[in-house]
């Protein structure tokens, strides 16, 4: 076999990075989603609790009838943070208010804005670690 100067080994490592990144990034994304959901639940006005309990996240698409706050997708990973369901169909009205005089009580987007920078930094660290771990292996 001809000596390619390490090119084939380099190419093999580069092909392995995306898979290792996906696996390394999943826990960081999940932790960030948990934090944003917890913050949104702490900010939502509570009367009976249906709206608070409807706030969550899932891999893939949001449940039918919910309001999507954030959806990230890339490299085969799609995560969705949502609020509202059949019982808490009024999530949008609480977040944005109504023309008929119901005041807005934002809980969803403030939680997202507060958690976004931390989430991005956590994901960047996970990607960097995956690249370093992969580069040193094989």
Say how far apart CA 126 and CA 75 lie, in whole Å.
15
pLDDT digit of tens for each residue in the chain (138 aa)?
A: 456 666 677 667 666 667 777 788 889 989 999 999 999 999 999 988 999 999 999 998 888 889 887 777 666 678 899 999 989 999 999 999 998 888 999 999 999 999 989 998 998 898 888 878 877 655
Q: What angle do CA 103, 109, 111 make, to 5 degrees?
A: 115
Tell me what pLDDT residue 65 has: 86
Say how far apart CA 94 and CA 113 lie, in whole Å.
17
- The tokens describing 19, both together, are 């898979």
Say how far apart CA 69 and CA 76 lie, in whole Å.
20
- The tokens describing 135, both together, are 């580069």
Contact between 40 and 107 under an 8 Å Cβ cutoff? The reply is yes
């Amino acid at each position: 076999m001809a000596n390619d100067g390490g090119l084939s080994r380099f190419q093999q490592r580069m092909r392995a990075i995306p898979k290792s990144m996906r696996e390394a990034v999943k826990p960081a994304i999940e932790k960030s989603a948990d934090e944003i959901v917890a913050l949104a639940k702490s900010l939502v006005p509570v009367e009976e609790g249906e709206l608070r309990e409807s706030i969550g996240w899932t891999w893939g698409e949001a449940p039918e009838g919910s309001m999507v706050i954030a959806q990230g997708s890339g490299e085969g990973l799609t995560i969705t943070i949502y609020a509202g369901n059949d019982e808490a169909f009024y999530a949008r009205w609480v977040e944005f208010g109504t023309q008929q005089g119901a005041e807005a009580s934002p809980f969803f987007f403030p939680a997202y804005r507060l958690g976004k920078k931390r989430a991005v930094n956590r994901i960047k660290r996970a990607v960097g670690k995956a690249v370093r771990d992969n580069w040193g292996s094989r």
